[in-house]
Amino acid sequence: MTSSDDLDRLAADLGAWVRQQRELGHEWYLDAGEPAVVPADPSPRTALALPARLLAREPSPPVAPNADADKATREADFARECEAFVRDTVARVARERAAAPQADIFSAAAAPAAPASLSRDEKMATLADLAAGVTSCVRCRLAEKRTQTVFGVGDPDAGIVFVGEAPGREEDLQGEPFVGRAGQLLNEILKAIGLRREDVYICNILKCRPPENRDPEADEVEQCEPYLKRQLAVIGPTVICCLGRHAAHTLLRTNASLSALRERAHFLGDVPVVVTYHPAALLRNPHWKRPTWDDVRKLRALYEALRGKA
C-alpha cells in the first residue's frame, strides 16, 4: 500500500513538473480542458488533484532517479535527428528549385503572378477577392447547410502555412479556422515554438463545414482544392505544415499512413511540406503530443534554415 509520505512526495514532484513545463512554454502538454491550477507553493494534498488532468510527454513514471539523464539523452538524439532532417531537406529544396522552380502550386493556373512580384498589400487584396468568391460558392452540397464559409486567417506574407482538413462547428459559426478546442491547442503549439497566429497563415482543405464534422468527401475536395492552391500561390510560403491525414493526402496525392508521412519532408513543387497530427487528434489521443512536439520543432528549424538561405 502506498504511504501518505509517498503520496505527498509524488504530489510535490508533479506540481514542480507542471511549473517547469510552463516556465519552458510547454503549456500545450496540459489538458486543454479545465486547466491544472498550480499555486506558487502547492501543498501536497492540493497537488494530488493534478494527475487526473496531467498529460505527460510519455507514459514513464513521473519521478525516476535518472530522469534528467534520460531527458538529456532524448534531447541529444532529437537534436541529431533534427539536424539531419534540416540538412537533407534544405539540400533537396535546392535540387527541386534547380530542376523545376515554382512548379505545381505556383503554376500559371494557380496564380496570375509569382508571389515574389506581389507586395504585401497586393497579396491582402488578392486574398480578399478570393475570399469573396468563396463566400458565394455553391460548387458542392456543403453550401446548402453552412452558416458561413471559412477562408483563412493570418499573415499574407507568412513563411509558414498550416493546412487542416475542414471547419468544425465553432469555425462555421465564427468564420475563422481553428477557433474551437483544437484551435486553442494549435495556439499553444505555436507558442511553444515561438510563433503566434499572426505570424503564420492558417486555412483548411474545405472552406465549408461537413455535416457532423464528417470526413471530407472526394467530390467536395475536388471542388474546393483550387481555392486552396490559389491561396498558397498568393502567399508563397517557405514551408507548409499539413495538420492531419486528410490535408496530407489531398496536397501530396497519397494514401500513405500518417506515421509514414511524418518520417520525412515532402514537396509541392519546390516547397517542403511537413506532416503532423491534427490538434483535434491530440485531444483524443494525448500520447501523440510528444511526436507532434518533435514535428513542430523540426518545422521551425527547417523554416529558420531556409529563411537564412533566402
Would 68 be classed as within a structural domain?
no
Look at residue 4 and tell me whether its pLDDT is greater than 80.
Answer: no
pLDDT exceeds 60 at position 143: yes
Q: Among residues 19, 37, 54, which one ends one of the domains?
A: 54
Q: Give the SS3 label for residue 297.
A: helix
Name every residue whose Cβ is closer than 8 Å to that of residue 249 and which is 6 or more positions away in sequence.
Answer: 255
Q: Which of 57-71, 179-193, 238-252, 281-295 has the lowest mean pLDDT?
A: 57-71
pTM of the model: 0.78
What pLDDT does residue 71 have?
A: 83
- What is the span of the domain harbouring residue 18? 4-54
Do 48 and 86 lie in one domain? The reply is no
AA identity, residue 271: V
Please say which residue of 36, 54, 72 terminates a domain. 54
Residues 40 and 121 in one domain: no
Q: Are residues 32 and 142 in the same domain?
A: no
Clarify whether residues 138 and 240 are in a common domain: yes
Whether the predicted pLDDT of 110 surpasses 90: no
Mean pLDDT of the region 246-271: 95
pLDDT-derived band at 26 (thresholds 50, 70, 90) equals: low
pLDDT at 3 (0 to 100) = 55
Selection from 235, 304, 236 nearest residue 270 by Cα: 236
Classify residue 216: in a domain, yes or no: yes
Predicted local confidence at residue 6, as pLDDT: 56
Same domain, 28 and 148: no
Confidence at 116, pLDDT banded by 50, 70, 90: low
* Amino acid, single-letter form, for residue 304: E
Query: Where residue 96 falls among pLDDT bands split at 50, 70, 90?
Result: confident
Q: What is the pLDDT of residue 115?
A: 59
Predicted pLDDT at 98: 86
Check pLDDT > 60 for residue 248: yes
User: Which triple of cell numbers denotes residue 285?
Assistant: 489521443
Residue type, position 96, single letter: E
Residue 14 has pLDDT above 80, yes or no: no
* Segment 170-183 mean pLDDT: 96
* Same domain? 96 vs 20: no
Domain count for the chain: 2
Dist CA 102 CA 306 (whole Å): 16
**pLDDT of 24 higher than 80:** no
Is residue 75 included in any domain, yes or no?
no
Looking at residue 67, its pLDDT comes to 72
Residues 89 and 8 in one domain: no
Any idea what the CATH number is for the domain that residue 119 is in? 3.40.470.10
What are the backbone dihedrals phi and psi of residue 295, each rounded to the nearest 5 degrees, phi first? -60, -45
- Residue 147 belongs to a domain: yes
Which pLDDT belongs to residue 68?
A: 76
Listed range (12-21, 188-197, 207-216, 269-278) with the worst mean pLDDT? 12-21
87 with 48, same domain: the answer is no
In a domain, 127, yes or no: yes
pLDDT at 178 over 90: yes
Write down the pLDDT at residue 15: 58
Q: Which residue has the higher pLDDT, 265 or 10?
A: 265
Residue 261: the pLDDT is 97
Nearest to 271 by CA among 83, 153, 102: 102
